[in-house]
Every structure is written in C-alpha cells, then in structure tokens.
A and B are shown apart, each in its own frame.
Chain A
C-alpha cells in the first residue's frame, strides 16, 4: 500500500497493513509521519516527542 508524504510528496509504502496512529518515516525527507486515516490512507506529520513520552 502506498500514499504520498505530506511534507515532500514522495511515495511512502507500507510492507504490512497500516494501523491507525502508526508512525512511519518518509524514505526521502525522513519526516516522521502518522497514519491519520486508513480509508483513504492519509498521513500527517507526527507530533514531536513530548517530555513525558516513554517508559
């Protein structure tokens, strides 16, 4: 499954079925992208890491 990067318009491909809220990296511009909707497949720039994230 392929869609375009909202930052640089390059193709972004998924080897497995994408999941809502999944974060992927654009192979061209290296932006972190979040899957916002599945049908249609829509990516947005992922939020920046916040200070309370993680274990």
Chain B
C-alpha cells in the first residue's frame, strides 16, 4: 500500500476558498496531499488517508467520495452523512424539524400534484426549490396558484422521479438579504449579510456581503442548525422577517466563504478550518 500523507485536501477546482486553505495548511507546516477528486477510484485498497477534508465543488462527487473514503477508514470532514443531508433540502428540513430549529413553514411533496395541494395550505407567495440544488438555481418564487400550476406542469414534464419531488416554503420577506453564519466545530465564527436587490441572495447571483453582528441568539441558532445536520464545518443561511424573527433556510456542508472574507478582516475562516482539521489529524494518527 502506498504511504499516504496524514491529510488529503479533496478538490477538483481550486477557488478562493481552497487557495486560502492551502495557504493556511502551509503556514501551519501541515503534511498534506492535494487530491483531485476526478482521479479517485476505489477497489484497490489504496485510498487511505487518516483525515480527508472534502472541498469538492460537485455535490455528487463529494457525496460518493465521502462515503467511499469513510468506508476505507478515513475520518472525513464533513462526514458523508452530513454532506448527504446538507445536499438534500428535504432531508435537511427533516433534520432541522427534529432538532426543533426554526425554519420557514415548509412542505415536501412526492409529486407535482401533491406540491400544488401543499401550496394551497402554505399560501402565496411561496418558494419552490429543487430538492437537490445549489447556488439558488431553479429556485422560483410563486405568486399565485395559477403560476404555480403552470410551473408544476413543467416540473411534471421533467425526466426522472427525483425531479418530480416538490419542496416548497412560505416566502419570508427578508429585505433582500440573508445572514450567513460560519460554524466550525460547534463554534460560530462570525456572521455576514448577503444582500442582493432581488429576492435570491446567493453569492452566485451577485450578492454583496456586509458584516453582521454575531449575537448570542444568532450564534446559538446557527450552531443548533449545524448540529442538527451533523455538519462540523458549516455555512448556515438564515433569513430574518420584518419582525426580526429568524429562520434557518439551509446548511451548507461545502461552505463557501469568499463573501464572508470580504466582510471580515478579523476572522480567518480558512485558518480555523485548518486548525480544526489538524486537530482531527492528531486524534486520528
């Protein structure tokens, strides 16, 4: 068996975040191997790193790599289970509800017809989201039953049972912004507002980031959400209604923190992730 470094950084695309992580690993003098996820194949018994930090941009590859590497005996951050749950809004909602974490009113439905019936109970406006989706793609604001019926007709015409699952939430007016809290090892590091003139506040849709005060209540909500889905490294997205009530909308296992970095010069997310990961290496070796 090939002698491996004690840590693998798993990524097929090195973005701002991965560059920052690599710089932090080098500052710490860490022994690590940068592994391109696209090159992995199992079955040879040669995939053993004591710890693997998953930074794979593709959710399918991240999920399968994490399950495989855990089966080979690696400690994987985030765990395969956490990646699986965070990558699936339906399962995230189940986990958040079971843990008593506040979320917008949400309905999950097995068919487009059942989704329309669920919307009758939720009311309008509402938001339709793909159960498995990222960067806010295909997230649709539904203003009326007529509009919902038409869009769900399109959904019904999509191929595959997965595409027919419905995930709808009440629309929460949130001043065109959401709050991103970064959680590492059960500790909230800080918070930022993601602001976009439009209702989708993902960074991928051009949102800008501003510092947000991390109050104890906000930190507690974010940490509870990360724990609910089993994510040790998490970007927790929270929206706030005009009355100041906060709702968790999702937990990201492959947390992106470029915007957070722009809003903070006193929190080094990459460094904190690396410190947490290297502690896991010490435990594992």
Contact = CB atoms under 8 A, between A and B. Distances in A.
Interface of A: 16, 19-23, 34-35, 46, 50-55
Interface of B: 11-15, 18-19, 22, 34, 36, 57-60, 132, 134-135, 137, 204, 235, 252-256
A52 B132 CA distance: 8
A15 B143 CA distance: 48
A23 to B, nearest CB: 6
Contacts of B235: 55
Contacts of B14: 19-23, 35
Contact of B58 (A16, A22, A35, A52): A52
A54 B19 contact: no
Nearest to B135: A54
A21 B134 contact: no
Given A19-B14, A20-B36, A52 B254 contact: no
Contacts of A54: 57, 134-135, 204, 254, 256
Contact of B252 (A19, A34, A50, A55): A55
A22 B34 CA distance: 12
Grouping DSSP codes into helix (H, G, I), strand (E, B) and loop, the A interface class, with mixed when no group exceeds half, is loop
B20 to A, nearest CB: 11
Specify the main secondary structure of chain B where it touches its partner: loop
Nearest to A19: B14
Contacts of B15: 23
A22 B58 CA distance: 15
Contact of A53 (B19, B22, B34, B57): B57
A19 B18 CA distance: 9
Given A22-B14, A23-B14, A55 B137 contact: no
Counting chain A CB atoms within 10 Å of each CB, the highest count among B14, B235, B255, B256 belongs to: B14
A55 B254 contact: yes
A34 B14 CA distance: 9
B137 A51 contact: yes
A51 to B, nearest CB: 7
5 contacts: A22-B18, A34-B13, A53-B59, A55-B235, A55-B253
Contact of B256 (A16, A20, A55): A55
Contacts of B252: 55
A22 B13 CA distance: 6
Nearest to B23: A16
Contact of A52 (B13, B18, B134, B253): B134
B253 to A, nearest CB: 8
B254 to A, nearest CB: 5
A23 B253 CA distance: 22
A21 B132 contact: no
A50 B58 contact: yes
Nearest to A34: B13
Contacts of B36: 20-21
A20 B34 contact: yes
Contacts of A23: 13-15
A21 B204 contact: no
A53 B134 contact: yes
Nearest to B136: A54
Given A52-B59, A53-B58, 6 more contacts: A21-B11, A23-B15, A52-B58, A52-B134, A53-B57, A54-B254
